[in-house]
Every structure is written in structure tokens, then in C-alpha cells.
Amino acid sequence: MFTTLKMLSGGIFLAIFSLAVAHQAGAQEMPDVIEIDSLSHLYEGVTFDHSMHVDLAENCSVCHHQNAGVPVQDQNCAGCHAGTTKSHIVSCGQCHPVEPFSAEYLRQKEADVKRYHRDKPGLKAAYHQNCMGCHDDMDGPTGCQDCHARTEAGDKLFHAGDFAPQPGVAQSGHH
């Protein structure tokens, strides 16, 4: 009977411990690879190695602000967001709008007089500002095509690749 009690308590202890660990790391919820392609048109989607970045980053707040449960480090934010807990909003697109300058969004923003974040970047800008900041400091990829190759539509817009101007063709210009 003593042995059964020991095993039972040990088992319960192990269960709680593993759940705690899992909860801490969020291992069940954290994806290894994320396809970031909701805006892809001129460029292909990005195959984002999430687990590699998890290893590189000090903590979740480096990219996810305070949404992943780690308190925010920036002094400007801590004033309001110091005691924050993990929210169900983790992906960028849940807060950063795809069209930050549409008439409707601007109207909505200005109507809400109590709103603090009037300068929130749109989704495309949020992606690039968040990623490029670190990439610049840590010698990560900084070229446009280092992270996402250009599509045919992109080549057409940039007059690049197959759509590049033919060499030797006279271009209008003065002198």
C-alpha cells in the first residue's frame, strides 16, 4: 500500500511538472515554421523559421511585444503594459491592419478619442520594421530577395528580370 501511494504521488507530481514545463515553453502552441504570405503579390511568401528565431531571441517580447506573456522591456511601453499576461493575440496580423491608410480605418482611428496607439504601423511595415531591426544589428539577411523572391508581377513593376529595359535602347533624358 505504501508503494502504491508513492507511485501515485510520484505520478501526479510528474504530470503536474510536465504540464508546467509545457505551459512555460508553450511548446504545444509554438509552430516551428510559419508561412507568412497573407500579403504576397509582388514577392513570394516567406518561409519563416520560427524555432530558429526562438533560439536566437532573448525572449518572446523581442518580436511579440507583450502578447506572448513576457513583460515588455521598452520603457515607453512598460508604463501601461507592465502587468500584462499572455493574450490570445500573438500573430502580427491580429493587431496590425493590412490597410492602415484606408479612409475607413483613418476615420475609425480619429473617432476614437481615447485611443493611444495612433501611430501603429500597417502589417507590411510591422513585418519589415520588426525583422529588419534585428537583421541589421545581427548581420541577418537585409536584401529584399534574401527573404522572399520576387514574383512575375514584382518583376514587371520593378522593370527587372525579364522586364528589364533593353540595353542600348535610347531613353528620354535631357543633355
Partner 1 sequence: MKGISRRRFLAASLAGGAATTLTLSKKAFATGTFEGYPEGMGVLVDLTRCVGCRSCEAACNKEQNLPAPAVPFDDKSVFDQTGHGGQKRRPDENAYTVVNRYEPKGAGGPVYRKVQCNHCNEPACLTSCFVSAYSKTKEGAVVYNSKVCVGCRNCMIACPFQVPGYSYSSAFDPVIKKCIFCYDTRLKNGKPPACVESCPQGVMTFGHRKELIKIGHERIKARPDRYIDHVYGETEVGGTGWMYLSSVPFDQVGFDTTMGKEPIISNVKDFLGTVPMVLAIWPALFTGFHLLATGKKEHHDEDQSHAAEEEAEK
Residues forming the site for partner 1 (CB under 8 A) = 76, 101-103, 106, 110, 118-119, 121-122, 124-129, 132, 142, 144, 157-161, 164-165, 171-175
Distance of closest approach, residue 26 Cβ to partner 1, in angstroms: 29
Distance of closest approach, residue 24 Cβ to partner 1, in angstroms: 32
User: In the complex with partner 1, which residue's Cβ is closer, 21 or 106?
Assistant: 106
Q: Looking at this protein, which amino acid is placed at residue 158? A: F
- Give bridge partners of residue 36 from the DSSP assignment: 46
Distance between CA atoms of 109 and 100, rounded to whole angstroms? 10
- Mapping DSSP to helix (H, G, I), strand (E, B) and coil, where does residue 164 land? coil
Distance of closest approach, residue 49 Cβ to partner 1, in angstroms: 20
User: In the complex with partner 1, which residue's Cβ is closer, 5 or 138?
Assistant: 138
C-beta atoms surrounding 9 within 10 Å: 10
Distance of closest approach, residue 72 Cβ to partner 1, in angstroms: 14
Closest CA to 50 of 67, 68, 33, 27: 33
User: In the complex with partner 1, which residue's Cβ is closer, 53 or 135?
Assistant: 135
Range 3-12, long-range pairs (CB < 8 A, 24+ positions): none
Tally the C-alpha atoms within 13 A of residue 51's C-alpha that lie toward its C-beta: 9
User: In the complex with partner 1, which residue's Cβ is closer, 85 or 171?
Assistant: 171
Distance of closest approach, residue 138 Cβ to partner 1, in angstroms: 15
C-beta atoms surrounding 12 within 10 Å: 10
What Rg, from alpha-carbon coordinates, does the chain have?
24
User: In the complex with partner 1, which residue's Cβ is closer, 51 or 129?
Assistant: 129
